[in-house]
Structure 1
């Protein structure tokens, strides 16, 4: 029987053969060396453990009858210490009890000696395919879980969007890291997905992570994974997002929220292309393109000592600034039609007619929540069956400024709008953040900045007095 290897990228995998028979080790090494990226061998568990301390292996082919520690005993230890790769057990002597013990220990397959070449190759192929499907299923579950916030593509034909499209087409083909900058709600994840889709990695996973949405003490494990017992509550080993993004793209949104210690670890991964799961002593090679995003001025964060300068320059090999919606208001009709087509399927209602009067009114609004706020407005309008005079939470004066407001700065308009929305929500900042299309943390930061500025003003007045 001939095994078709054409559809499997075996070169991306590494295999460790552990067998005390030299002839079997040589046979398997010769068979796999021309197919797999790396093949190593060992005669016993002790030598194999030394190899695994230095190298990462996706698959172990492990003989049960080893000198000293048996293959099954060592397999139990491997699983206890967090090895999550596939293990094929081979033996010349087996009974039902041995087979059950092997499966309980976490063996992926069980093969009797002597075996044919096609038997072992088919078993290896199944292991590699299972690992590939596990990665793809994980990514798919994450995408389905975030379906409501799924990207809509680069919609709009304003000069700013045409220029952005051209940059995406050019940069997408490059392997370099990319830093996306822009206000909340401008569509940074949309652009990140577009960069992924136009890259050679388009058929591999795109894994997004909002660094602001996860507790600081959990981000390290989320990114790099952990072994069993690495910390309180780590009852089993777990792969990190770098593992699931292997061969594809990892999108780190709100990267300015990463703690400084974790910024150091991320920099090392970017430079060495290796990572170490939490609690593990083994380094694992990774092949991931990083796209990062922030709504803060990272250069200013560096000067303030809140972001590592070396990491900033490592991320900003190419940087793209996304325009706010108020600077491309001519795209509002296209965006609204797109949202209505998308939401019509989800809500089970027909799109609403879009009049010139409605468009003109909305184009006069500042949209501090940007495209995300516009989408929320469209969804609310479709649920109610008509376009309201103003976006959610915004009084009519916010759409067409009153004469006394024409001289206000953009920052003052933003503050007034946010305070009005919070007032409309009876002080509920979580609900206000949802209406504005920003995170609760961003809203809290705004109020803290305003309070600090007012305290400075009071201090200056006191000093003058």
Structure 2
């Protein structure tokens, strides 16, 4: 910041009579002012440009340039225009004084002057000049501070944008799933769901408290974890989802805690683990019951003291992470079997949130159905989402959905394809991919469109040996897709991953199968 300059007042005294200058000098010099004297108007302008005086005491009647002309010249020069001018004049008539003020003077002293009056006027105008100087310095300092703050704000915004970009890259897959499910607050209006959401809202405020989510497969545990994160004080930090059941055993410790270069074969660079990536945010551990026991002990330590040690490193690192864990398994049974640590369970289960299965919130099925039909229609590029008949909704309500909301979503994706954009009927709803049974078969009334028995051979089967695969590419494709869907539990995205094909290819084959079935 610019330093404040020391203030030393300089007075320019102008009079064509040297004796008058001597009197003024004797009066003002003892006051500590620096004095510069001129005996003509031309000398006054030259000295003013060189000395930059704080105040000018200017005689009016002088040969050549008189005081009025000198004052006007000072006012025309942008570098001198702010210097106050006090006239010393023997003329005190109104016309002369008016002309002096029009020329730019700020005050006047009448000759013969009184010493006390001169000192009082000089002190007043020097004080005002000092105040203007200090104000200008403060304004410069303020402008510099504003510039610094703007730079700091711009730097912070850039850092936050970079953090958001990194967060988006880390959670792109689950973010896409969140968009599809529209889980701003889980869909539905049933009392069961409302009670769970009130508990989610309560837990959002406790950004440091871990939560154990307990629920069947397909109840939306990751989506609830995201809701806990997005509504918490950690919302601006990263959300890192980890499926504990899908991690390679030989790399699991490195993936959680990171490693340093050379820690093991293939460790060519330092790498951050999940805990460091989630620093300042939330780490979601799905299927926590499948975590190896050897890693459970290290996880417990991190939960206790917030420190991680990368593989091959000598020093620990401090992390600030909220852990939200989830399980669809009975952890108590796994504790009894010795595959899950009791102390870790109690550390995770301090706050437990149970997610209701879809069969306990069937009032939400119509809302969920309308949402999933709309999303499927958009994904398939349909101009308009098909409707769903009351009979089809009744069929859905009669089914228990062991796969919960995920199963309902997959079921309706297939129904949109099977209906070819027309109103979805019970005959378009399939129970699963390992049985020709339709959901409508679970109703007391017969289905609107019964399934021809001769189509049963077209339905998926659990296994098919290589010798049994037909030498017809289309038929072989159908069998492979059916097997993949059976392996994936009806999840089309997972089946497409297993086969290494785009999901649109699976949709096409399913549509052909449904056409044959009708």
The one of 245, 248, 270 aligned to 1:237:
270
- Per-residue CA distance 1:328-375 (angstroms, 9 max, x = gap): 222111111222333343332232102211110111122121111111
Superposition TM-score, scaled by structure 2 size: 0.54
Indicate conservation of the 8 Å contact 1:139/1:244, yes or no.
Answer: no
The one of 159, 166, 171 aligned to 1:138:
166
Alignment partner, residue 411 of structure 2: 377
Alignment partner, residue 331 of structure 1: 364
Shift of 1:179: 0.4
What's the secondary structure of 2:241's corresponding residue? Answer: strand
Matched, 1:318 2:351: yes
The one of 359, 362, 366 aligned to 2:396:
362
Matched, 1:157 2:189: yes
The aligned length equals 312
Indicate conservation of the 8 Å contact 2:275/2:283, yes or no.
Answer: yes
What's the secondary structure of 1:139's corresponding residue? Answer: helix
Shift of 1:323: 1.4
CA 1:345–1:397: 2 relative to 1, 3 Å: closer
Shift of 1:148: 4.7
Shift of 1:402: 8.4
Q: After superposing the two structures, state which structure 1 stretch, 318-327 or 424-433, moved more.
A: 424-433
Alignment partner, residue 431 of structure 1: 485
Indicate conservation of the 8 Å contact 1:275/1:284, yes or no.
Answer: yes
Shift of 1:248: 1.1
Shift of 1:429: 5.7
Aligned mates of 2:196, 2:431 — CA distance in 1: 27
Indicate conservation of the 8 Å contact 2:359/2:400, yes or no.
Answer: yes
Alignment partner, residue 437 of structure 2: 396
Aligned mates of 1:225, 1:278 — CA distance in 2: 6
What's the secondary structure of 1:396's corresponding residue? Answer: coil
Shift of 1:309: 0.6
CA 1:260–1:176: 2 relative to 1, 3 Å: same
The answer to which structure, 1 or 2, has the higher relative contact order (CA under 8 A, 6+ apart) is 1
Aligned mates of 1:433, 1:324 — CA distance in 2: 22
Aligned mates of 2:188, 2:431 — CA distance in 1: 20
What's the secondary structure of 2:171's corresponding residue? Answer: helix
* Residue segments in structure 1 that go unaligned for 5+ positions in a row: 3-116, 404-418, 441-465
RMSD over equivalenced CA pairs, Å: 3.5
Q: After superposing the two structures, state which structure 1 stretch, 175-184 or 339-348, moved more.
A: 339-348
Shift of 1:137: 2.9
Aligned mates of 2:407, 2:486 — CA distance in 1: 12
CA 1:437–1:298: 2 relative to 1, 3 Å: farther
Indicate conservation of the 8 Å contact 2:372/2:412, yes or no.
Answer: yes
Aligned mates of 1:285, 1:354 — CA distance in 2: 54
CA 1:360–1:368: 2 relative to 1, 3 Å: same
> For residues 273-352 of structure 1, what are the structure 2 equivalents within 5 Å?
273-349=306-382, 350-352=384-386
What's the secondary structure of 1:367's corresponding residue? Answer: coil
* Residue segments in structure 2 that go unaligned for 5+ positions in a row: 3-144, 445-458, 465-477, 496-518
Q: Which protein is bigger by CA-based radius of gyration?
A: 2
- Per-residue CA distance 1:87-132 (angstroms, 9 max, x = gap): xxxxxxxxxxxxxxxxxxxxxxxxxxxxxx99x9999999988876
Aligned mates of 1:131, 1:389 — CA distance in 2: 49
What's the secondary structure of 2:193's corresponding residue? Answer: helix
Shift of 1:396: 3.4
Superposition TM-score, scaled by structure 1 size: 0.60
What's the secondary structure of 2:201's corresponding residue? Answer: helix
Aligned mates of 1:149, 1:122 — CA distance in 2: 38
